[in-house]
Structure 1
Amino acid sequence: MTGMSAYLRTFHSFDPPGIWRAVLLNFAAAFAEGAGLLMLLPILSLAGVLGQDSGQKSWLPMLDRLFVSLGISWSIEFALLVFVVLIYIQSQLTLHRDRVSQSLQLRFGDHLRKTLYAAIVRANWSFLTGKYSAELLNTLTTEVQRITTGTYFLLRFFTISILSIAYFSVALWLSTWLTLLALAIGLVLWMLLRGADDAAKQGGMMLSQANRKMFAQIQEFLSAMKLVKIHGEELSSLYRFNREVDQVSNHSMEFQWIRTRVQAVYRVGGAIALAVVSYIALVWFKLPATHFLLLVAIFARMLPQLAEFQSGRQQLLHMLPAFSSWRRLMEACEANQNPEGAACGNVKLMQGITFERLGFSYPESHHRIIIRNLAIPARKTTAIIGVSGSGKTTLLDLLSGLLTPDTGTILIDGAPLHLLPGWQKSIAYIPQETQIQNGTIRDNLNWKNLEPTDAEIKQAILQSALTEFVQGLPKGLETEVGERGVKLSGGEKQRLALARALLRKPQLLILDEATNALDPENHRLVIDSIRALHGNLTVLIVTHKTDELSGLIDGMVQVEQGAVGKWIPFAHKKSTTADKKNWSPLALKCF
């Protein structure tokens, strides 16, 4: 399927009734405009401006007989009244047509954006980690906006086509051969300017690439903003951003130059065509004056519309690369969707989590993880120990359902994890880099929660050691925290994240090195908060060291070079050689 046909099919499938309504309104408005043009003939004749060569007896005999049968005779007053009524009808139809077209255009853009966003949200984690966020943002914003703009020109393209048919119909009735001659000249102009179509499409592709690079530069700066400031690299970042913006501007200007050049050629060519047709009409065909003036008026109105017709066609070709980007990303997301499961509530974790002969490796990577047999008891606090890059995060991603194992099974209270679609609703996850959204403390506590009660919020704040902090704020829960929580300290962010996690009422709480970057006092507050939860829910704490967790954890799991050992009670931290084989690299040979 070509890009244009795919775009048209997508647009048509979006709202067929609305599109057909726009089609009918276009035909009705064009018919009314054509009838209004024809009414100029009897008006001019009845006014005696140009004689009676197109008077009422020779103009539309059937309509003339109809009015006579109704007892109505042609007069200048009646003809003007009919003309005004036709123009009023045409203006109302045009107004309604434009509103329907604008609604179609905007709703189609919203539809593309919402559909793509839904596909991205439902895509699996492995796929999303392989995509650049700048590409996703660019497609959702700039590319969809370009498609929306292109859709406007598609609707204008159709409107102009219908109007042109109406004009040509009237012109053919006035003089068939002159109209065909004008049409032939127009086709010659179109053939001569077809080369600009390829340039428009190529320009659209270059603009899409430039937009992606610009978004990538923005994303790079925002993610490393603090580092840029510390190293004093503002000018370097500004230079790279300005370079990408200039590329976007240059590609946009190149297309505008192509489009305006084509319009200029159409205007000049149209003027020449009008002069040729006028000469032939007067000298060779001896066309009646009223017919000639009306024919000139029709062609004069058609010339700018034909130029707009060609301009709209180029806008569509220029837009197609943006639609192709949307379509490719949409198809990729749909091909990597998470499996749909039956809706259900939170999954209870009463017995424990079991990994049975599990293996996983990343595509095109040497990193892999092996778990021979691991059982994590419920309602216990477990430390996941290992150096950076050993596989701790991969273990958590497998447990949370973000990744699917290549072999083996994960069981939750004996039930396979992939058969528990509500499992992720039962998890609360706190990373080292806490995600705090712009807004108030209450907004952050309400994030993805079903409107917790004041009592639940108060309890979560108490459990996360935030009570004194919140009470000391002038606005309490309504205090603004700033973008990414810039008005909060690291410890305050982590405790706010813990309170937010507890409001989910999880069965499993995961802290992925959530306390590593905290100062001793904030570290103590967070650890004390977690200690207060001991025995009430299953807690996994990912850390490099266990000495500071004494009295908090019940057991530990060692991860080394992708090999995951058994759950060992913390009291038996100094394991035997046999225990160490459960997690050493030698275990890979036993899998």
Structure 2
Amino acid sequence: MIRRARLHVRAMVVACGAGRVLRLQLLMLLGALLEAVVLVLLVPLVQLLAGDDDVRVPVLGVDVGPVALLGVAGAAVLLRGAVQWRSAITNSDVLLRTTDALRLRALRGVLEADWTYLVRQRRSDVVQATTTEMERVDAAVHLLLRSAVDLLLLAASAAVAVVISPLLGGLAVLSLVVVVALGRGSVRRSIALGVEWTRRNALFGATVTDSLASLRLIRAHDSSEQWVRLLDDAAREGRRIEHRYVEVTSAMQAIVGYAALGAALGLVLLGRAIGLGVAELVALAAVTTRLLSVARGLLTSTQAFAHYSPALDAVQRIIDETAAHREGLEGPEVSSTSRLASSHLSTRQGAGAPRTSTTGSTSTSGPLLELRGVAASYGDRPVLRDLDLVVAPASLVAVTGPSGAGKSTLLDVVLGLLPPTAGEVVVGGEPLTDPRAWRARVGYVPQQTVLIPGSVRENLTWSAGRPVTDDDLWRALEAACVADVVRQLPEGLDTVLQDLAQLSGGEQQRLCIARALVREPDLLVLDEATSALDAATEADVVANLRRTPAALLVATHRPAVVGVADHVVSLAPAEDEPRA
């Protein structure tokens, strides 16, 4: 439990800085001290209400008049309120900064991780860790901060009880020790249930993700009832865990509640038996009730923290694993966006102009890209063997072959995502040593369309890596044969694509092609990127792309593309053919 609390505190310090966290701790401590002052003043206030003109303040042992007492008490209450207000704001700031930083660290890690690691991960695990589990981390941090406040208030209340009556205050503290001892078992069970909940949540998330990814198949086979049963089974297991957690925590809270009531009555009766005055008895009753109430709240917060805290393990696992599999970068403080932008701005002299390669000198007469005796595999499964490929500037190379022959794997190697297990990738006559710099010169369009929930402009520019103008965007849209479609949208470039039904499958593909062209690439890599186009439109798009300065490497089955290619590479499965 203490280890988990330390992990969360470390996350807060990393996200917010030690100074901000220390300020929050000092505010919480000051609030607890002011709470103690207000509780100490209960004794003289009760004496004043009883009709005494001169009353004595415990601890200080001084007599004060009614006006001075009321003034001090009022000032203490006002100052306590101000400190609690400032503490609540700082608390919220620390909470939000911590959860946002963890979420962004996890997402950044995924976005910058080595490709061979990413392809082995289940997408739903990443989604769960950065959404549902982050919500549980948010709750855990909130509960930890709340527990820290309760702990300080508990200490302040216990100290005041001892000041009023060392004997009874000591007994009250002893009762707290008993409560802590009773609650340890329920806290451990809460942690175990939290770990189980995290595992179940991952399974439920995977089931939901798979069902949404299979909607067409589910509807085509009329299998919705079977999937609903799978989802219901996963949800039922979650309800079982949550019910068990509620049973454990509510039972302990009921026991503590009964014990608190009995202890408060017992202490008041004992105080009366040993001769405490009415003012001391009333103050002691108030302080004891406050003490045990805070103790009960602390137990509740601790149990809930124990239940939610395992979520940080899932998030931290993503962060640690992606950090361990991070693709080599030029520097940890340089963002990918700024790196791409600087690469474009430093090398681009104009459309199609020669550029200085970051992997070596670029020859305008030699090949743009070469694969020499390349072999590649995913895990233990060989996909490519002894592959030679040459892509000349402004040429079109078509890659064909049956499913499983390695077309997408070949593109991953070309993009610098998958390192070859043998052979070498050569760019501009030099071995490829900096895949990220090379990718700054490449435009890529995958099989599945990737459109973000934003405007057409945002969809075209988010991966540009350079400042772009409207003229740049329209030029790319014209080349992709989708400019007329965008002009007919209600707001043109600023139309928000809230529903992809606004565009057909072919229009979405052409918009993705335009996005790749906005990068002004030396090499345009297309993976079945025209599969949703009719033959006439596909021919127009290919003709326009051939007029750009970019070389084209196209994985396709489409005769219209293969027929106009300068070179055709036909792949066969690696176990069947040793060479492409």
- Could you say if the C-alpha distance between residues 461 and 48 of structure 1 is closer, same or farther in structure 2, counting changes exceeding 3 Å? closer
CA distance in 2, matches of 1:477, 1:99: 40
CA distance in 2, matches of 1:8, 1:436: 38
CA distance in 2, matches of 1:298, 1:488: 67
Equivalent AA in structure 2 for residue 12 of structure 1: V
Q: Return the match for 1:231 from 221, 224, 236.
A: 221
- Could you say if the C-alpha distance between residues 385 and 20 of structure 1 is closer, same or farther in structure 2, counting changes exceeding 3 Å? same
| Structure 1 counterpart of 2:296 | 307
CA distance in 2, matches of 1:241, 1:391: 35
How many corresponding residue pairs?
550
Find out whether 1:116 has 2:106 as its counterpart. Answer: yes
| Structure 2 counterpart of 1:345 | 343
Structure 1 contact 123–334 (Cα < 8 Å) conserved: yes
| Structure 1 counterpart of 2:472 | 456
Quick one: percent identity of the two aligned structures?
24
Find out whether 1:12 has 2:1 as its counterpart. Answer: no
Q: Note the alpha carbon deviations across 1:241-262, whole angstroms, 9 max, x for none.
A: 3333343344334323322222
CA distance in 1, matches of 2:207, 2:171: 54
Mark the runs of 5 or more structure 2 residues left unpaired by the alignment: 332-338, 348-354, 356-361
CA distance in 2, matches of 1:196, 1:61: 41
Structure 2 contact 417–435 (Cα < 8 Å) conserved: no
CA distance in 2, matches of 1:532, 1:59: 91
CA distance in 2, matches of 1:208, 1:3: 15
Could you tell me how far 1:397 is from its partner in structure 2?
0.3
CA distance in 2, matches of 1:441, 1:194: 56
| Structure 1 counterpart of 2:554 | 541
Find out whether 1:25 has 2:38 as its counterpart. Answer: no
1:240-389 matches, within 5 Å, as 240-283=230-273, 285-341=274-330, 343=339, 344-346=342-344, 348=355, 350=364, 351-352=366-367, 353-363=369-379, 365-371=380-386, 373-389=388-404
Could you tell me how far 1:372 is from its partner in structure 2?
5.3
Q: Note the alpha carbon deviations across 1:100-142, whole angstroms, 9 max, x for none.
A: 1122112211111111111111111111111111111111111
| Structure 2 counterpart of 1:45 | 47
Could you tell me how far 1:154 is from its partner in structure 2?
1.0
Q: Note the alpha carbon deviations across 1:451-501, whole angstroms, 9 max, x for none.
A: 532222222222222344445556544455554x33323332232222222
- Could you say if the C-alpha distance between residues 205 and 56 of structure 1 is closer, same or farther in structure 2, counting changes exceeding 3 Å? same
Could you tell me how far 1:435 is from its partner in structure 2?
2.1
CA distance in 2, matches of 1:248, 1:524: 53
| Structure 2 counterpart of 1:390 | 405
Q: Return the match for 1:585 from 558, 572, 577.
A: 577
Could you tell me how far 1:232 is from its partner in structure 2?
2.2
Pick the structure with greater CA Rg.
1
Find out whether 1:158 has 2:171 as its counterpart. Answer: no
Q: Return the match for 2:438 from 406, 414, 423.
A: 423
Structure 2 contact 412–418 (Cα < 8 Å) conserved: yes
CA distance in 1, matches of 2:220, 2:79: 67
CA distance in 2, matches of 1:339, 1:6: 28
Could you tell me how far 1:35 is from its partner in structure 2?
1.6
Could you tell me how far 1:333 is from its partner in structure 2?
0.7
CA distance in 2, matches of 1:62, 1:437: 70
Equivalent AA in structure 2 for residue 199 of structure 1: R
- Could you say if the C-alpha distance between residues 543 and 260 of structure 1 is closer, same or farther in structure 2, counting changes exceeding 3 Å? same
Q: Return the match for 1:176 from 135, 152, 166.
A: 166
Secondary structure at the aligned position of 2:554 is classed as strand
Q: Note the alpha carbon deviations across 1:122-169, whole angstroms, 9 max, x for none.
A: 111111111111111111111111111111111111111111111111
Structure 1 contact 359–405 (Cα < 8 Å) conserved: yes
Mark the runs of 5 or more structure 1 residues left unpaired by the alignment: 65-73, 564-583
Equivalent AA in structure 2 for residue 544 of structure 1: H
> What's the TM-score once normalised by structure 1's chain length?
0.86
Q: Return the match for 1:201 from 191, 199, 203.
A: 191
Structure 1 contact 491–522 (Cα < 8 Å) conserved: no
Could you tell me how far 1:183 is from its partner in structure 2?
1.8
Q: Note the alpha carbon deviations across 1:49-97, whole angstroms, 9 max, x for none.
A: 4x69xx5468555655xxxxxxxxx322221122111111111111111
- Could you say if the C-alpha distance between residues 280 and 134 of structure 1 is closer, same or farther in structure 2, counting changes exceeding 3 Å? same
| Structure 2 counterpart of 1:67 | none
Q: Note the alpha carbon deviations across 1:524-578, whole angstroms, 9 max, x for none.
A: 3333333434xx221112123657633x221122322239xxxxxxxxxxxxxxx
Q: Note the alpha carbon deviations across 1:6-29, whole angstroms, 9 max, x for none.
A: 333333343311221122112222
CA distance in 1, matches of 2:57, 2:136: 51
- Could you say if the C-alpha distance between residues 57 and 126 of structure 1 is closer, same or farther in structure 2, counting changes exceeding 3 Å? closer
